[in-house]
Structure 1
Amino acid sequence: MTSPTESLIRSALAGVDDPEIGRPLTELNMVETIDIDAEGRVAVRILLTVAGCPLRTKIGDDIRTAVTEVPGVAGIDIDFGVMTDEQRRDLRIQLRGPESEGLSALAQPDSPTRVYCVVSGKGGVGKSSVTVNLAVALARRGLRVGLMDADVHGHSVPAMLGITSAPTLVGAMMMPPTAFGVRVVSIGMFVDDNAPVVWRGPMLHRALQQFVNDVYWGELDILLIDMPPGTGDVAISLAQLLPTSQLLVVTTPQRTAARIAERAGAVAAQTGQRVAGIIENMSWYDSPDGTRQTLFGAGGATAVSRALSGLLDTYCPVIGRIPFDPTVCAAGDRGAPFVETDPHCAPTRAIDEIAAAIAPIVRRPLSVTPVGSVPA
């Protein structure tokens, strides 16, 4: 029987990613030692980023799966240690660069990440539900997606995604939890139970600054930001922190809601942001008898598009209309996005069309391992 070698074991471990960071354990210098005895039993020591790593079990399971597939391995023992402060600092520099205390890469003009602030003029139009399901739909398309819950006083994103864990702190860097393929951060992850967040402008700005600069988002294709309703401090802060961000305006068909939504989009005239599109939620209801009912009127999104296009002197298109469906609310209450629980329903189809409208075309290099010379 072939005896396993350290090189083979290390190659196997190179296929195991840290679940929070998304890079191989070997690349992150998390594999401290590898020992192999005469019978082919392997012992590895893995350095976790923090002592209470919430994904320790998954890391262990992934290691066992990878190493036991190496020919000649009779078994594996895993010993978990913890990185020193110096090793964590080196890791942060490796991930964020030597200027990690400066501006986030997301704020740079040449950032490849598309940032969309999802805004509404008033509450109750389903903005957070749209944001959550749009994020998951984009991730289902193979994109690397982040979701920032900037609705500090009315945070609901963690509950809608079934997230109960907080980010892992590696020094001053936060590793956001992932749900349904989306990296998520919210102030709701840092408060006890349903405690209210009673903050004024400066504290709000500082929290958002930390979400932008101190969270390790990784290499994202899209970052969605669930904004609070209205045009207050958060809108101004994020326009400053992420000046290349664009706006997605959510409204309902109701003309009163549309008029208020126009104000949220009009912020772009003051901040220099672009309105990427208008989304109309709860556009109609298809009743069981086959009739279509406009429960909240009609024409809201068209009115917002017309008003903002005139105000900003550039076309602001309607990029989607989402029908009303009671199961949408039920899915959110269960912590499961409806695009996952009911992938064929009409609201999911509408969300998928919106995702297609804003999704960037991403071409990533193929990983090709040479296997020998090609015959002439």
Structure 2
Amino acid sequence: NDLVSLNMIRDLTINGGTVGFTIMLTTPACPLRSQMEQESMAAVMQVPGVEAVNVRFDAQVRGDNRIAGKLNIPVKNIVAVASGKGGVGKSTVSTNLAVALAQEGAKVGVLDADIYGPNIPMMFGLSGKPRVENNKMVPFENYGVEVISMGFLMPEGEAVVWRGPMLHKAIQQLFTDVRWGELDYLIVDLPPGTGDAQLSLAQSVPLTGGVIVTGPQAVSVSDAKRGATAFMRLEVPILGVIENMSGEIFGSGGGERAAQELGVEYLGQVELDPRIRIGGDDGRPIVIAAPDSEAAAAFRALARKLAARISVMNLAPDPELRII
């Protein structure tokens, strides 16, 4: 369908030979933005009498309607970032995806659900305890992203030794007992594996979808496939697979192979770059610390693809209810 049929053209103005209009995107991170601008300008310039075209952009992110009904929080989409094993850079990917989406103009939050090993505060350069207003925690904010983590609530270095029910309650409270702003995307950084945290999240939170992070090695891919299979069994849509730390040292191609075998989208890869590790330690994600680097460009491309996948998913009609 064309942009007019999709109701994406707004604020049409004609001033002499100049035509102006706004293209309403379904995400600020739309990867087809430049193509839409060029093709719409070319089409309008073919109209007799048109001498110039001014194209503006705005965005209205479509949301997952289940979230407000079940959690009563002003969040449009909840995206879980998971991996089958630790050490593949899942928290690094979560952090840089969130900041990249915010740089595109989206309203973004990060919820650190890795209760046993919360790394998100360090990666965002944040510390201290969140203030409380009207019995709700106010998330920290940095780089345009709202952030909450169990790491803010525990003494530094202290271990959490909880059984499943306590973990379930803690994760739920990080959603409902926090004064989230009106967010387009809430990125949830999960612990590695397929244990209680993943089960609790899938059962209590309406997830828009999950992103699987893997390294390029065969052992990492094998574990990532297990993580994806767990999501599928819990009826959580897989938004795609990301290969992290790709390059000569660890190899490449594992993420794409995993996506093909699972029958899901391959979002892309991020090359191994020491500056990513340095930025994580210093609380400056590479999309902030080295915005012109290849790794930063890769994260921005991944963020746009992820946003596009979510938009397409939310545009799809709801599946018909089955009567058993």
TM-score (ref. length: structure 2): 0.72
**Distance in 1 (alpha carbons) for counterparts of 2:71 and 2:123:** 31
Q: Secondary structure at the match of 2:249?
A: coil
What is the one-letter code of the residue matched to 1:308?
A: L
Counterpart residue number, 1:201: 164
Aligned position for 2:206 = 243
1:277 and 2:240 equivalent? yes
Match of 2:182 in 1: 219
SS at match of 1:304: helix
Aligned counterparts of 2:241 and 2:87: Cα–Cα separation in 1: 16
Aligned residue number for residue 251 of structure 2: 297
> Contact conserved, 1:107 with 1:244, CA < 8 A, in 2?
no
Alignment of 1:1-376 (within 5 A): 105=68, 107=70, 113-284=76-247, 294-309=248-263, 316-359=264-307
Letter of the 2:270 counterpart? I
- Partner SS for 1:330: helix
Compute the displacement of 1:243 (Å). Answer: 2.4
Q: What amino acid maps onto 2:261 in structure 1?
A: A
Distance 1:192 1:109 in 2: 30
- The amino acid of 1:295's aligned partner reads I
Match of 2:46 in 1: none
Amino acid at match of 1:204: L
CA distance in 2, matches of 1:111, 1:225: 15
1:172-196 CA-to-partner distances (Å, cap 9, x unmatched) read 2111110111101100000111111
Distance change >3 Å, CA 115–CA 230, structure 1 → 2? same
**Paired positions, count:** 245
User: What is the CA distance between 1:106 and its match in structure 2?
Assistant: 7.4
Separation in 2, partners of 1:308, 1:243: 22
Q: Percent identity?
A: 40
- Does the 8 Å CA contact 1:109/1:244 hold for their aligned counterparts? no
Q: Deviations over 1:175-234 (max 9, x none)?
A: 111011110110000011111111111111111110111111121100100000000000
C-alpha distance in structure 1 between counterparts of 2:137 and 2:67, whole Å? 13
- Higher Cα Rg, which structure: 1
Q: Which amino acid aligns with 2:259?
A: S
Query: 1:110 Cα shift?
Result: 11
* 1:115 Cα deviation after fit: 1.2
Q: 1:147 and 1:131 mapped to 2: Cα distance?
A: 8
- Indicate the structure whose relative CO is greater, using CA pairs within 8 Å and at least 6 residues apart: 2
Tell me, what secondary structure is at the counterpart of 2:246? coil
Distance in 1, matches of 2:224 and 2:275, equals 25
